[in-house]
Amino acid sequence: MTEDKKEGLMEKIVSLCKRRGFVFQGSEIYGGLAGTWDYGPYGAELSNNLKNLWWKMFISDREDVYAVDTAIIMNPKVWEASGHVSGFSDPLVECDKCHHRFRADQLDHENKEQNKCPDCGSKLGSERQFNMMFKTNIGAMEDESSVSYLRPETAGGMFVNFKNIMDSIHPKLPFGMGQIGKAFRNEIAPRDFIFRSREFRQMEIEYFVNPKDWEQSFEEWRQTIISWCKEIGLNEDNVHELEVADGDRAHYSNRTIDFEFDYPFGRKELYGLAYRTDFDLRSHSTASGQDLSYFDEENKERFTPHVIEPSLGLDRTILAVLCEAYTEDELGGEVRTYLKFVPKIAPVKIAVFPLLKNKPELVEKAREVYKELKKEFGAVMFDDNGNIGKRYRRQDEIGTPWCVTIDFETIEKDAGVTVRDRDNGEQKRMSVSELKDYVKSVLNS
C-alpha cells in the first residue's frame, strides 16, 4: 500500500462499512459497547463466503481434518490446565485520580517514565496483571465454586475432545480437528476497528502429529496459509512472515510464524502458525487424569502427539480484504470508490438492473434474468433504485463485480444484456448464457 493510500484510509473504510451495511458498532443506538461490532448484510455475507472457503480448503477438501463445534463456556479446569487462568493477562495501570485504565505496555515513553496519566496528568498507580478472560457464574450460585470463563480461543475445545475423536472416529496420525467459532478477550484497550475487539471469530485447526514429523507438517500448513492468502485476494507484498524469536513466543510453542499484514495502522498480526509441541495434550492429561496418548500400531510405540496450529482470525481477515480491496480512481471524469474483492468472496456477485424502473417490459425481463442468475449463483441482487449512475456507485461500494442492465435492445432486438465490469467500468453486450459461463469460469478459477 502506498503512503498516499494509507492517509485517512481507516476512517474511509469504517465510514463505508457503516454507510453500506458491512459493519456497525455493537449496540450502536445505546452509544455502543466498546470492542463489539455487528455485521450488517454485506458483512455477514462476506463472512460466510470466507468461512465457506476456509471450511473447504482446511476441512472438506482434506480427508484428515475433522470438524467440531464446541461450547464457548467450558469447565474452568480447562483454562487452569492451559495456563490461561494464571498467565493470560495484560499489564494494567490505573490513574489514582480519574481512574482511567491503560495497558502499561502501550503508554508512550513520556507517560511511562513519569508515571503520569495520559488523560488527566495525575499520578498512575502501580502496574498489576489483569486477566483477559471474561468471567461468569454458571448455575444458581454466585461464588467462586461457580466461576466459568468464556473461551479466549477455540483451541481449548479441540484439545479436550482429542479423546472423544480417538474413541469415536479412530483416526491415525497425522490428523486434525477444526472449527470456526467465537472467542472472547476482555481487552483493556480495544482498538483499530474490528482488528482488536473483545468478541471475535476464529478459524482454527489443531493438527496432531508424530513429533518426528512436526517440521514437515509445519511447512505444509505454512504453504496452505500462503495459498489461502492468495485465494482471498491479499497481495503477497502486503503479507509478511515473521519468525517469532525464542524469547517472544508463547510458553507452549517451540516455533511460531506470525503472518503479518500491512494494515493502514501498521504491520500487525493477521494469522499465527504455531508448533505447540505436546504441551496441550500433556497438560490436559495431567490435569484431567485421562490418558491422551496415541498408540502407533506400525512401530508399536506409545506417545503424546504434538500439535501444529494454523490459527486464522476471521475479523482480521475481513479487515485485511477490505483494506486490500478499497480503491479510489477516476471513471468518466468522476472520482469513485469501489471494493475490488476477488469475485469468489464478494458478498454480491451480480446486480441486475432494469434500465428504467417505470417501464414494465424492462422490469419484467430484468426480473426474469435476475431469477435465472440467482438460481445459478445465489448472491444476486435486483436493483431498480435510482438512476443507473447511482446504482453503479452503490454496487461499486458493495464490491459487486458485475452489473447487468436490461435495456430496450435486450427486449426489442434480443441483443442480450450489457455487463459492466466493476474494475474498469467497461460494458460489454452478451447473452445471459454467455454471461453465466463467464461468471462460472471466473468463480471457479
Within residues 380-439, the interface with its own copies by CB under 8 A covers 382, 385
Which CB atom, from 254 or from 337, has the smaller least distance to its own copies?
337
Collect all residues with Cβ–Cβ distance below 8 Å to 80 and sequence separation of at least 6.
Answer: 86, 287
Nearest distance from C-beta of residue 349 to its own copies, angstroms = 12
Q: Is 337 in the site for its own copies (CB under 8 A)?
A: no
30 binds its own copies (CB under 8 A): yes
Q: Helix, strand, or coil here: 275? A: strand
Please name the residues in contact with 299: beta carbons below 8 A apart, sequence gap of 6 or more.
none
CA distance 300 to 309: 26
Q: Can you tell me which residue has the cell 463445534?
A: 69
> Taking a C-beta distance cutoff of 8 angstroms, is the pair 242, 257 a contact?
yes
Nearest distance in Å: CB 135, its own copies: 6
For 9, 335, 361, 363, the CA distances from 356, given in Å and listed in that order, are 35, 25, 10, 8
Identify the CA nearest to 187 among candidates 144, 133, 109, 257: 133
Binder of its own copies out of 288, 293, 327, 337 (CB under 8 A): 288
* Residue selected from 1, 6, 14, 33 as contacting its own copies according to rule CB under 8 A: 33
Output the smallest distance, CB 381 to its own copies, in A.
Answer: 8
26 or 233: whose CB is closer to its own copies?
A: 26
Cell triple for 188: 483493556
Return d(Cα 272, Cα 153) in angstroms, integer.
13
Closest CB to its own copies among 140 and 245? 140
Identify which of residues 141 and 245 has a Cβ nearer to its own copies in the complex: 141
Closer CB to its own copies, 192 or 329, in the complex = 192
* Interacting residues of 54 by C-beta distance below 8 A, sequence separation 6+: 180, 203, 228, 312, 314
In terms of C-beta density within 10 A (0-12 exposed, 13-18 middle, 19 or more buried), how is residue 430 classed? Answer: middle
Residues 123-152: x/- map of binding to its own copies (CB under 8 A)? -------x---xxxxxxxx------x-x--
For every residue of 334-358, DSSP letters joined together read EEEEEE---GGG-S-SEEEEES-TT
Smallest gap, in angstroms, from Cβ of residue 164 to its own copies?
5
Distance of closest approach, residue 23 Cβ to its own copies, in angstroms: 10
Report the residue number, 93 or 225, with the smaller CB distance to its own copies: 93
Q: Which of 39, 193, 195, 338 binds its own copies (CB under 8 A)?
A: 39
Out of 53, 165, 173, 250, the only residue in the binding site for its own copies (CB under 8 A) is 165
Which listed range, 208-216, 284-292, 322-330, 437-445, lies at the site for its own copies (CB under 8 A)? 284-292
What are the distances in angstroms from CA 189 to CA 93, 186, 337?
Answer: 12, 9, 31
312 close to 231: Cβ distance less than 8 angstroms: no
Q: Which residues are paired to 259 by β-bridges?
A: 241, 271
In the bound state with its own copies, the residue whose beta carbon lies nearer, of 131 and 253, is: 131
Q: What pairing do the DSSP bridges indicate for beta strands 89-94 and 101-103?
A: antiparallel
Q: 29, 212, 412, 426: which one contacts its own copies (CB under 8 A)?
A: 29
Min CB(427)–its own copies separation in Å:
25
Residue 286 lies near its own copies (rule: CB under 8 A): no
204 binds its own copies (CB under 8 A): no
Asked if 94 interacts with its own copies (CB under 8 A), we say: yes
CB of 29 to its own copies, least distance (A): 4
| Shortest Å, Cβ 244 to its own copies | 27
Total binding residues toward its own copies, as defined by CB under 8 A:
81
Q: Report, in Å, the least distance between residue 87 CB and its own copies.
A: 17
Considering only residues 41-80, where is the footprint of its own copies by CB under 8 A? Answer: 41, 43-45, 47-48, 55, 60, 63, 66-75, 77-78
Cis peptide before 343, with omega less than 30 degrees from 0? no
Angle between helices 214-231 and 41-54 (to 10 degrees): 140
- Name residues contacting its own copies, limited to 289-318 (CB under 8 A): 290, 292
- Closest Cα partner for 36 from 151, 201, 197? 197
For its own copies, which stretch binds (CB under 8 A), given 31-39, 219-227, 229-237, 322-330? 31-39
Q: How far apart are CA 15 and CA 19, in angstroms?
A: 6
By beta-carbon proximity to its own copies, the closer residue of 159 and 221 is 159
Alpha-carbon span 231 to 55, nearest angstrom: 13
Residues 232-261 interacting with its own copies (rule: CB under 8 A) = none
- 157 near its own copies (CB under 8 A): yes
Q: How far is the CB of 138 from its own copies (least distance, A)?
A: 7
